[in-house]
Structure 1
Amino acid sequence: MAASSTPQQDVGYVIVAANLDAIERIFIVKKRKEGHSMGVIGTYDLLTRLYDLPDGKYTIVRIFTEELGLTVAFVGKMKESAAELISNVERVVTNGTLGFTAGEGPFSCELARLDDENGLVMVGSSANLTDQGQKFRVEDIEPEIVEAADLVVDYGRQKWHLYGRAGTILDLIMSVYCGSGQTMRVYGRS
């Protein structure tokens, strides 16, 4: 993908890109501050190429995304070798960590699959100005965000619009001991 678009995710619309110029355009139009990174949207296979995780955590990711079809984002430690795969990596990685969402819904899943097939990594963020809240319909996206996109896909009102919240993030780095074993800390986005 050479330019940005705004496909729907289960938790709202996103603006994504897979090349250096378009990633920078997203960063500027969203009014992101230095250190406020964007995430990768891709396939489970891409996640395994980007993240440095123990096998058990890969299993958890696969079960959540592929078997249960849950809408979950992840934060994990990036493999050092993965930096060369991501255009404008400094806009995506913070302190060696990377945010990742498996493609949600048929359109995003197919876009992620095509990116994989073509050796591209899709980077993005919610289709809004920074800190202005998730957008659940195309008509709610700020005009400057829409104008910055080369393609806008109106996929209707997003699946979880009634809750008025963004999705859940699983931190694959931090662990807390819960008496009987290790568990991951879960964060809710708002």
Structure 2
Amino acid sequence: MSRLDIKADARRTFEICKSGGIAIFPVDVGYTMISGSREGLKKIFNAKQRGGHKRNALICDMETQRELQVLDKRGQEMIEVITQDYNLPLGPIATYRTDHPLMKKIDPNALAASTAGGTLAMLVNAGPFHAEITKLSREEVHPLFGSSANLTGTGTKFRVEDIQDELTSIADVIIDYGLRKYHMYRRSATLINFETMQVVRMGVCYEQISDILRRHYKIELPPDQSVDLNPSGHTNEFGLPIVNN
């Protein structure tokens, strides 16, 4: 087998998504299913059998995250420490700039399916393919939204062969890079609202992220109940109102 051509694969995938198609491709936290159009996102939503409260996430690089999410200095610094100093993947949630060029490119229906309460979830720092395709998204000002490549409630898929036929059959391109880096977690990315410090999902590297926030910022996140007791890791769904216990 020859070496991976990440640049070429990312370019091919991006062009398909940009033209309204659907892609399945590898990130460090599993395989993801993405589109760059309202029609593509709706098709993914229906195929995954998602509930109406479910929201898409924007895949983007840190440059876009810094421009798009509205956070105070401390909140932004926490994201930087986790993703840049410790090089961990993360799903930050925060208020976003509605006037950002990427947001202006989004169809209103697609935007409604991808935001909740004025906040936007992202996936950042999720590996080489993610870095390349999000760079293209930023440079060409075309947003890419999606979610894990799995039927709702069946868990993150870390190999292409584990993705259900209902999803692979609607994909216009599938990039198979084999078993993903963080497969041992059996969950997708950790999701945290960095305005409220509400944990939405305990996912990949959650213990490390908790330790970082404890040591650097004296923030105590709730303990993980374990993947056996809480397979998805969700404590609150992104699209649902946050409940303070």
Q: TM-score normalised by the shorter chain: which range applies?
A: 0.7 to 0.9
Equivalent residue for 1:9, pick from 9, 27, 44: 27
For the pair shown, the structure with the greater C-alpha radius of gyration is: 2
CA contact (8 A) 1:171 1:184 kept: no
CA contact 1:135–1:141 (8 Å) conserved in 2: yes
Q: Would you say the 8 A contact 2:88–2:125 is kept in 1?
A: no
What is the identity percentage for the equivalent residue pairs of Structure 1 and Structure 2? 26
2:120 corresponds to 1:98:
yes
Three-state SS of the structure 1 residue aligned to 2:187 is coil
Higher normalized strand content (fraction of residues): 1
Q: Which residue of 2 aligns with 1:54?
A: 72
| Structure 2, unaligned runs of 5 or more | 1-17, 199-213, 225-231, 234-245
Shift of 1:173: 2.1
Q: CA deviation at 1:37?
A: 0.6
User: Structure 2 length normalisation: TM-score?
Assistant: 0.69
Q: Which runs of 4+ in 1 moved over 3 A?
A: 181-189
Report the 3-state secondary structure (helix = DSSP H, G, I; strand = E; otherwise coil) of the residue aligned with 1:173. Answer: coil
Aligned to 1:84: 104
Instruction: Report Cα offsets for 1:103-149 as digits up to 9, x if no partner.
Output: 41111110000111110111010001112100010000000111111
1:73 Cα offset (Å): 1.0
Matched, 1:22 2:40: yes
Q: 1:15 to 1:175 in 2, by over 3 A?
A: closer
Q: Are 2:63 and 1:45 aligned?
A: yes
Contact preservation (8 Å) 2:91, 2:190: yes
Distance 1:86 1:184 in 2: 36
Whole-angstrom distance in 1 between the partners of 2:57 and 2:222: 17
Aligned counterpart for 2:195 among listed residues 148, 173, 176: 173
CA shift in 2, pair 1:18/1:187, >3 Å: farther
Return the TM-score normalized by structure 1.
0.88
Tell me, in whole angstroms, the C-alpha distance in 1 between the residues paired with 2:223 and 2:23: 27
Among candidates 184, 206, 216, match of residue 162 of structure 1: 184
Cα distance in structure 1, aligned partners of 2:40 and 2:191: 25
* Alignment partners' CA distance in 2, 1:152 and 1:30: 16
Give the Å deviation of 1:10: 1.2
Task: Give the length in aligned residue pairs.
Answer: 187
Higher-RCO chain (CA-CA 8 Å, sequence separation at least 6): 1
Contact 1:75 1:100 in 2 (8 A): yes
Q: Following the alignment from structure 1 to structure 2, what is the Cα–Cα distance between the partners of residues 112 and 103?
A: 10
Alignment partner of 2:196: what SS? strand
| Alpha-carbon distance in structure 2 between the residues aligned to 1:53 and 1:34 | 28
Letter in 2 for 1:18: G
- Indicate conservation of the 8 Å contact 2:28/2:182, yes or no: yes
Q: How many angstroms apart in 2 are the aligned matches of 1:169 and 1:75? A: 7
* Whole-angstrom distance in 2 between the partners of 1:182 and 1:116: 34
Q: Name the CA shift for 1:28/1:103 in 2 (closer, same or farther; >3 Å).
A: farther
Code of the residue aligned with 2:194 in structure 1: it is L
Which range moves more in the overlay, 161-170 or 125-134? 161-170
